[in-house]
Amino acid sequence: MASLLQPPGLSQLRGPVAQAGDPETLQTLVDDFTAHNLFKALVAIAIAWLLVWGIQHATNWISERVPRRYRLLTKQSLPFLKGLILLTVIAYLVNLFVNLSQQNLLALTGTMAVALGFAFKDYVTSVIAGTVALFEAPYRVGDRVTIGDHYGEVVSYGLRGIRLQTFDDNTVTIPHSKTWTEAISNANSGHLEAQVATDFYFDHHVDMETVLQILYEAAYSSRYTQLKLPVTVVVEEKPWGTHFRLKAYPMDARDEPAYRTDLIRRAKQAFAQEKLPYPHLPVQDQLSQTPHV
């Protein structure tokens, strides 16, 4: 009676999983596991490792020597080449050791589903997220991205995650699975230029026209500025002063720290000559607000 109430598809799903633990089926799967095939597999893995290593170094070498506008395009081909090599090797190894009949394929799928579900769930999640990210492209090699509390340039795109090079020269490894849960801010999205915003603060009584002129001159006179893109200044009033935000683009996003430093140096030299007043933040008397016991 219980079998009549069981959904028809359930028994069909149980078949392959049950067969996965069948010794006879497992014996069929590993019949080709010989010393000769093991040697060929090790050779294939070694060749794949050498190809990945060679392509990675060749891509980095070429990208630093081609014209600047082709640098990111060269680096962005690396994840696809690495993925192609890995898929080819995996297909070769599976074909080498497994007799992919319909019955064996179902049994192997059931075994892998159980094993991956318990042991490699997080790893597989990152691999799947990385494959999806290749097509959605929330980040690519050479982009400047913010993920969580980390900001930097994507210098490597691996199977499990990416590596960011921060301004402090730290290398941060972030798994692809973060794309499911974290907001990703991309400053240049495959372009060579990325906007740099530099903040300046003055007293409410400052001559705004003088400040605006100095900021525009600082941007247009910097050797890092991409003159084909617009330079803008946004002004905002604060309770303690006036906030000026200079927005401009360097010719290469990699020069962002040097570019911001150059803008500040040029602007402050001019501010000092004009003797422009800086804001005075209200000093809060913390002691006066401390409750007396």
Q: Which pLDDT value is given to residue 183? A: 87
Q: How far apart are CA 164 and CA 154, in angstroms?
A: 5
Same domain, 182 and 218: no
Q: Is the pLDDT of residue 62 over 90?
A: no
Please state, as a whole number, how many other Cβ atoms lie within 10 Å of the Cβ of residue 149: 6
Residue 163, domain member (yes or no): yes
Domain match, 170 and 211 both:
no
Does any domain span residue 13?
Answer: no
Compute the radius of gyration of the chain from its Cα atoms. Answer: 29
User: Domain count of the chain?
Assistant: 3
Q: Each residue of 101-150: pLDDT tens digit?
A: 666 666 666 666 666 666 667 777 777 887 777 777 788 888 889 998 89
Instruction: Judge whether residue 10 has pLDDT over 50.
Output: no
Residues 177 and 218 reside in one and the same domain? no
The Cα–Cα gap between 284 and 102 comes to 76
Residues of the domain holding 178: 138-186
Domain holding 166: CATH number?
A: 2.30.30.60
Q: Which of 103-112, 180-189, 254-263, 280-289 has the lowest mean pLDDT?
A: 280-289
- Domain membership of residue 230 (yes or no) is yes
Say which CATH number the domain at 261 has: 3.30.70.100
Among candidate residues 175, 179, 177, 149, the one with its CA nearest the CA of residue 163: 175
pLDDT tens-digit profile of 164-174?
Answer: 888 888 899 99
Is the residue at 129 inside a domain?
no
Is the residue at 215 inside a domain?
A: yes
Q: With respect to residue 248, please indicate whether it lies within any of the assigned structural domains.
A: yes
* Euclidean distance between CA atoms 169 and 239, whole angstroms: 37
How many Cβ atoms sit within 10 Å of the Cβ of residue 119? 10
Per the domain annotation, does 51 fall within a domain?
Answer: yes
H/E segment holding residue 172: strand 171-175
How would you classify the pairing of strands 161-165 and 150-157? antiparallel
The structure's pTM equals 0.62
pLDDT at 92: 86
Is residue 75 domain-resident?
A: yes
